[in-house]
């Protein structure tokens, strides 16, 4: 296959050079005669773009101009990366699709959310694929990183690429799928230290895509046998976590009735070498609480009803209302009226130590409680109050106050880990309830009423 490589000589002159095959494209990426474009610069796309920009010329494209403007000033709009992460990198941030035209290797990392009916919303993925298709040239490579159901890349993305560009897969251009396993907020398992699954539309593309990722992933790559296998592998990782957490959440409901602390049980059971360490909790965010719906949808399309996965999703999605019921029951036991009770919720992000509030189940808990309780103060040291207001309709309190009847520790941010009973007593009193969703203060609360999942 003969491909065209464009070399940016200056901002106005583009010299076109040819590469004979993917191996030459790889060489051209490494010697900076060719460039790599990342489409979608969010939690996933930006760290990858900056990692590649240490080794090769990168074009970072995002449709959101505001975000692009911040990145041009070395600011990560997702608040994950320090400005130093942008230093000494060869990267151009652009918000117009045409400006990706000089790239030859494209990586797509746009969101794959669900809609109001919990069905896959492929709008961003289709839009991004179209943007790439508009500038696709002979010899180019396109790798998808967004989490999708098995079959999506071949059935949805390839037809868009072929129809819009008029080119043919494997004759004129090649594709691959390489799921992202980044864990935002995790400073230990950084992107370079997580083995990368790669796949390609033929054996040459598999090798080339593996080589490209090996330049930034020190942990190495795993070559999946097919694109569908790589797609399924990612979705299975998150579905497995979802189901295991659902089991813990179901156990916590049983043990609540049995008067046993679930975390005590898990600590004891965890002494066996093959007991898996999962804990009950709220499953929010854009991965574990979303990806299984993609698999469920595909499963139904294939004629199989996914009993266990569906049940797991329902158990986890019902947790905010179960916790709210539990709190209301406790208030009743204490002879307190919900309408006159004051509640403090600590933490609103979808998990600890991140600023991300997408699909926050704490917000669902606030909504459930607000049907009965008038005063609910929500604090979070990391979340942005305007963002919370925009997405969920309530503002964060700058500071907690006092005389709370219920304190819910919903997210175990580092900042909360060392709080002691005196701290809670200063915001409540002995008749107060501390609902510790994650079991952080287990064994430390002696006078207040203590509950965890
Ligand atoms: N965030 C995670 O922890 C994580 C981990 C592994 C995999 N994933 C998967 O990676 C993908 C991206 O997730 P994310 O968290 O980075 O999303 P995100 O919402 O943080 O960022 C996506 C970016 O893509 C941009 N975008 C949207 N549509 C676009 C388009 N048509 N063209 C160009 N840019 C567009 C948005 O403006 C945004 O900046 C999803 O499929 C997600 O499931 C996410």
Asked whether 70 lines ligand 1 (CB < 6 A), one says no
DSSP notation for 207-231: HHHHHHHHTT-TT-EEE-SSHHHHH
Is residue 80 assigned to a domain? yes
Site to probe by mutation for ligand 1, drawn from 38, 48, 63, 110 as the one with most ligand atoms within 8 Å of Cβ, is 110
Distance CA 323, CA 343 (A): 13
Identify the residue whose tokens are 């692009």. Answer: 68
Nearest ligand 1 atom, CA 112: 41
Site to probe by mutation for ligand 1, drawn from 60, 241, 286, 391 as the one with most ligand atoms within 8 Å of Cβ, is 286
Q: Is the same domain home to 314 and 447?
A: yes
| Ranges assigned E (strand) in 330-411 | 342-346, 375-379, 406-409
Asked whether 111 lines ligand 1 (CB < 6 A), one says yes
The DSSP call for residue 198 is E
Domain's final residue, options 206, 228, 250: 228
Is residue 240 assigned to a domain? no
Question: Which H or E run includes 243?
Answer: helix 227-258
Nearest ligand 1 atom, CA 290: 43
Identify the residue whose tokens are 């497995």. Answer: 240
- Residue nearest (by alpha carbon) to ligand 1 atom 13: 111
Distance CA 246, CA 322 (A): 13
Nearest ligand 1 atom, CA 128: 31
Distance CA 68, CA 56 (A): 20
Distance CA 140, CA 202 (A): 14
Asked whether 316 lines ligand 1 (CB < 6 A), one says no
Enumerate residues 6+ apart whose C-beta is below 8 A from 15.
Answer: 6, 7, 9
- Residue nearest (by alpha carbon) to ligand 1 atom 22: 42
Question: Which H or E run includes 18?
Answer: strand 14-19
Is residue 247 assigned to a domain? no
Q: Is the same domain home to 206 and 341?
A: no
pLDDT tens-digit profile, the chain (453 residues): 444 444 344 444 444 456 778 899 999 999 999 999 999 999 999 999 999 999 999 999 999 999 999 999 999 998 889 999 999 889 999 999 999 999 999 999 999 999 999 999 999 999 999 999 999 999 999 999 999 999 999 999 999 999 999 999 999 999 999 999 988 778 888 889 999 999 999 999 999 999 999 999 999 999 999 999 999 999 999 999 999 999 999 999 999 999 999 999 999 999 999 999 999 999 999 899 999 999 999 999 999 999 999 999 999 999 999 999 999 999 999 999 999 999 999 999 999 999 999 999 999 999 999 999 989 999 999 999 999 999 999 999 999 999 999 999 999 999 999 999 999 999 998 889 999 999 999 999 999 999 999
Is residue 253 assigned to a domain? no
Instruction: Give residue 124 CA to ligand 1 midpoint distance, Å.
Output: 9
Asked whether 59 lines ligand 1 (CB < 6 A), one says no
CA-to-CA separations, 135 to 103, 129, 409, in angstroms, rounded: 9, 10, 49
Instruction: Give residue 171 CA to ligand 1 midpoint distance, Å.
Output: 29
Q: Is the same domain home to 270 and 213?
A: no
Q: Identify the three-state secondary structure at position 17.
A: strand
Tens digits of residue pLDDT in 204-246: 999 999 999 999 999 999 999 999 999 999 999 999 999 999 9
Q: Is the same domain home to 330 and 421?
A: yes
Instruction: Give residue 146 CA to ligand 1 midpoint distance, Å.
Output: 7
- Asked if 37 and 58 touch (Cβ cutoff 8 Å), the reply is yes
| Ranges assigned E (strand) in 284-358 | 342-346
CA-to-CA separations, 320 to 189, 243, 252, 297, 453, in angstroms, rounded: 29, 17, 13, 24, 11
pLDDT at residue 199, as a whole number: 98
Please classify residue 314 by burial: count the beta carbons closer than 10 Å to its beta carbon, then call 0-12 exposed, 13-18 middle and 19+ buried.
Answer: exposed
| Ranges assigned E (strand) in 273-399 | 342-346, 375-379
Distance CA 229, CA 40 (A): 24
Is residue 379 assigned to a domain? yes
Q: Is the same domain home to 74 and 210?
A: yes
Asked whether 62 lines ligand 1 (CB < 6 A), one says yes
pLDDT at residue 18, as a whole number: 61
Q: Is the same domain home to 283 and 385?
A: yes
Q: Is the same domain home to 77 and 220?
A: yes
Q: Is the same domain home to 38 and 151?
A: yes
Q: Is the same domain home to 265 and 352?
A: yes
Nearest ligand 1 atom, CA 123: 31
Asked whether 147 lines ligand 1 (CB < 6 A), one says yes
Q: Identify the three-state secondary structure at position 265.
A: helix
- The b-or-e profile of 360-396 (16+ CB within 10 A means b, else e) is bbbbbbbbbbeebbeebbbbbebbebeebeeebebeb
Identify the residue whose tokens are 């698999």. Answer: 295
pLDDT at residue 213, as a whole number: 98
Q: Identify the three-state secondary structure at position 324.
A: helix
Domain's final residue, options 211, 228, 245: 228
pLDDT at residue 430, as a whole number: 82
Number of domains in the chain: 2
Asked whether 144 lines ligand 1 (CB < 6 A), one says no
Q: Among 351, 429, 423, 362, which Cα is nearest to 392's?
A: 362
Is residue 344 assigned to a domain? yes
Q: Is the same domain home to 224 and 264?
A: no
Asked whether 39 lines ligand 1 (CB < 6 A), one says yes
Among candidate residues 152, 157, 287, 373, the one labeled active-site is: 287
Is residue 345 assigned to a domain? yes
- HSE toward the beta carbon, residue 398, CA cutoff 13 A: 0
Q: Identify the three-state secondary structure at position 452.
A: strand
Distance CA 296, CA 74 (A): 39
Q: Is the same domain home to 272 and 187?
A: no
Is 152 an annotated catalytic residue? Answer: no
In what order do the strands lie in the sheet containing 449-452?
375-379, 342-346, 406-409, 433-436, 449-452
The CATH number that applies at residue 272 is 3.40.50.720
Site to probe by mutation for ligand 1, drawn from 38, 40, 107, 191 as the one with most ligand atoms within 8 Å of Cβ, is 40
pLDDT at residue 184, as a whole number: 78
Asked whether 78 lines ligand 1 (CB < 6 A), one says yes
Domain's final residue, options 209, 228, 247: 228
CA 103, 109, 110, 115 dihedral sign is: positive
Enumerate residues 6+ apart whose C-beta is below 8 A from 84.
Answer: none
Please classify residue 81 by burial: count the beta carbons closer than 10 Å to its beta carbon, then call 0-12 exposed, 13-18 middle and 19+ buried.
Answer: middle
Find the domain containing 122 and state its range.
3-228
Asked whether 47 lines ligand 1 (CB < 6 A), one says no
Q: Is the same domain home to 337 and 422?
A: yes
Is residue 382 assigned to a domain? yes
């Amino acid at each position: 296959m003969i491909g065209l490589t464009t070399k940016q000589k200056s901002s106005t002159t583009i010299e076109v050079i040819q590469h004979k095959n993917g191996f030459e494209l790889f060489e051209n990426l490494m010697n900076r005669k060719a460039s790599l474009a990342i489409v979608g610069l969010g939690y996933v796309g930006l760290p990858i773009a900056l990692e590649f920009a240490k080794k090769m010329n990168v074009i970072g494209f995002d449709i959101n101009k505001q975000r692009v403007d911040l990145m041009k000033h070395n600011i990560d709009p997702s608040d994950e990366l320090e400005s130093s992460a942008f230093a000494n990198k060869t990267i151009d941030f652009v918000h117009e699709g045409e400006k990706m035209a000089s790239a030859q290797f494209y990586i797509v990392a746009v969101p794959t959310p669900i809609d109001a009916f919990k069905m896959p919303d492929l709008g961003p993925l289709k839009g991004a694929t179209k943007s790439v298709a508009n500038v696709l040239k002979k010899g180019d490579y396109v790798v998808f990183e967004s989490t999708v159901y098995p079959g999506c890349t071949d059935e949805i993305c390839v037809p868009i690429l072929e129809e819009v560009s008029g080119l043919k897969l494997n004759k004129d251009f090649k594709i691959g799928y390489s799921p992202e396993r980044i864990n935002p907020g995790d400073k230990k398992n950084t992107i370079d230290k997580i083995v990368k699954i790669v796949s390609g539309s033929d054996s040459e593309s598999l090798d080339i895509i593996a080589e490209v990722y090996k330049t930034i992933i020190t942990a190495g790559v795993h070559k999946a046998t097919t694109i569908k296998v790589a797609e399924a592998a990612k979705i299975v990782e998150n579905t497995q976590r979802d189901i295991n957490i659902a089991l813990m959440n179901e156990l916590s409901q049983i043990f609540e009735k049995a008067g046993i602390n679930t975390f005590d049980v898990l600590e004891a059971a965890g002494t066996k070498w093959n007991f898996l360490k999962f804990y009950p909790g709220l499953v929010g965010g854009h991965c574990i609480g979303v990806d299984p719906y993609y698999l469920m949808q595909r499963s139904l399309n294939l004629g199989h009803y996914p009993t266990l996965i569906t049940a797991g999703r329902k158990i986890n999605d019902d947790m905010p209302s179960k916790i709210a019921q539990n709190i209301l029951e406790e208030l009743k036991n204490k002879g307190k009226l919900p309408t006159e009770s004051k509640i403090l919720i600590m933490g609103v992000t979808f998990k600890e130590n991140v600023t991300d509030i997408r699909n926050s189940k704490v917000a669902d808990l606030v909504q459930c409680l607000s049907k009965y309780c008038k005063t609910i103060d929500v604090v979070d040291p990391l979340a942005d109050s305007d963002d919370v207001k925009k997405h969920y309709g309530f503002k964060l309190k700058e500071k907690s106050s006092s005389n709370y009847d219920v304190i819910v520790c919903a997210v175990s941010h580092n900042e909360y880990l060392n709080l002691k009973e005196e701290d809670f007593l200063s915001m409540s009193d002995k008749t107060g309830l501390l609902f510790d969703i994650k079991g952080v203060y287990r064994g430390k609360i002696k006078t207040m009423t203590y509950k965890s999942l």
